[in-house]
Chains A and B, each alone.
Chain A
Amino acid sequence: MKNIKVLGSGCKNCETVANLIRIAAQQASVEIELEKVTDMAEIMGHGVMSTPGVVVDGTVVHAGGLPGPDQIRKWVTD
């Protein structure tokens, strides 16, 4: 199962990204493990400074701003 982490200390965009990923996974009927990381030390540990950041199976795939729908679909399905 895919592990997707959303990094962000509670900004509005971080919530939005987490929801978008959840919806995309449901639509593609893929089971994922979605984690929200709010601890600053852990966020920085991934080398991310601009939030929301997205980590798929340990690799940072996105940092800063809202990702597009195509991007999100790719993370969930690839």
Chain B
Amino acid sequence: MFESLAGWLVYDGMGLDPSSRLGAALHFFVMDVTKIFVMLVAIIYVMGLLRALLSPERVREYVRNRPDWQARGMAVTLGAVTPFCSCSSVPLFIGFVEAGIPLGVTFSFLIASPMINEVAAVILVGILGWKLAALYVASGLLVAWVGGIVMQWFKPERWVEGYVWKIHMGQVSIPEQDTTLRGRHDYAIAEVREIVGRIWSWVLIGIGVGALFHGFVPETWVSEHLASGNWFDVPSAVVLGIPLYSNATGIIPVAEAMLTKGVAIGTTLALMMSVAALSLPEMLILRKVIKWQGLALFVAVLAVAFILVGWGFNALASI
């Protein structure tokens, strides 16, 4: 449906040639903009209607006072199903510490949260198919699980800013919810506005980059530089992704364009994860609660994990 709409608009309406670079790029852009935004609004609305979007206050209540493995399992799962704004990272971190949740578990949550969320997962299925979506989600969960454990080995408590330990959190009072259909509808609309308002620019930039890549980067260049089969393809993709940031949804069209041009699947997944989970703004926000040594370790652990994921999938794909 979206493909024929884009074809009609770009090729018939504007008279562009499907084999031209501009035609291909514009077709990609129109198709992905319509498809992704329609899906985005629909998914968030349904989630809001079901009240499936959890608040960090609730997550904290679920995770606290549990044995380590249970707490980590919940932190990873809940991190994956909650699309939090990174501006909530600091209160979230403090709230977890204050509840006595181990730091390793908190790190697991902080890794899973930006990398995976249900909105991005559904869009991944729509754009790249369920196999790739499942691979991305499964390896993301694994990285979050293991990453938190590795962070714990280094005793990260020493890198937490002193004031964090002194904060006492008041009784959590979760405001009452209006559970009538009308209340649910209002809530869902507010969620759509809030989340789409927060991420639309990332998504648009992602689609733009994907479209340019799709239309203007020749396949020969890709096979020479990004899909050379060299061992350093994956590390370069991860290092490239660290300073770059996009929301987990915004990176999907870029991955789509890369895959259709023949970039290896492991390299693409590694770049997606690195872009979504590691970013300069997120680190600057976390710097308020964690000293830079701790942050450097956090970045290093994740970078290594993404490289291993990338190599693993590239090796699997070549068998």
Complex: how many Å from CA A43 to CA B92? 12
Q: Which of A13, A44, A65 contacts B94 (CB 8 A)?
A: A44
Point out the residues of chain A lying under 8 angstroms from B56, CB to CB: 49-50, 64
Binds A, one of B18-26, B117-125, B185-193: B185-193
Cross-chain contact B194 with A50 (CB below 8 angstroms): no
Complex: how many Å from CA A53 to CA B173? 11
Smallest CB-CB separation from A61: which chain B residue?
B175
Known contacts A40-B91, A44-B94, A49-B57; A63 and B175 CB within 8 A of each other: yes
Cross-chain contact B175 with A41 (CB below 8 angstroms): no
8 Å CB interface, A41-58 against B: 41, 43-51
Q: Does B259 contact A (CB under 8 A)?
A: no
Point out the residues of chain B lying under 8 angstroms from A68, CB to CB: 186, 190
What DSSP secondary structure best describes chain B's contact surface?
Answer: helix
Shortest distance between the CB of A74 and any CB in chain B (Å): 11
- Most chain B beta carbons < 10 A, residue from A13, A40, A62, A67: A40
Q: Does B174 contact A (CB under 8 A)?
A: yes
Q: Which of A11, A40, A43, A62 contacts B175 (CB 8 A)?
A: A62
Cross-chain contact B91 with A48 (CB below 8 angstroms): yes
Cross-chain contact B175 with A50 (CB below 8 angstroms): no
Smallest CB-CB separation from B172: which chain A residue?
A47
Residues of A in contact (CB 8 Å), total: 25
Known contacts A40-B90, A44-B94; A66 and B173 CB within 8 A of each other: no
Point out the residues of chain A lying under 8 angstroms from B194, CB to CB: 13, 65-66
Cross-chain contact B170 with A65 (CB below 8 angstroms): no
Point out the residues of chain B lying under 8 angstroms from A29, CB to CB: none
Shortest distance between the CB of A78 and any CB in chain B (Å): 14
Known contacts A44-B170, A63-B55; A51 and B87 CB within 8 A of each other: yes
Q: Does B88 contact A (CB under 8 A)?
A: yes
Cross-chain contact B169 with A45 (CB below 8 angstroms): yes
Complex: how many Å from CA A48 to CA B163? 18
Smallest CB-CB separation from B195: which chain A residue?
A65
Top 8 A-B pairs, shortest CB-CB distance: A47-B170, A47-B172, A49-B56, A49-B95, A49-B91, A11-B87, A44-B169, A65-B194
Can you list 5 A-B contacts (CB < 8 A)? A46-B170, A49-B60, A50-B88, A60-B175, A70-B186
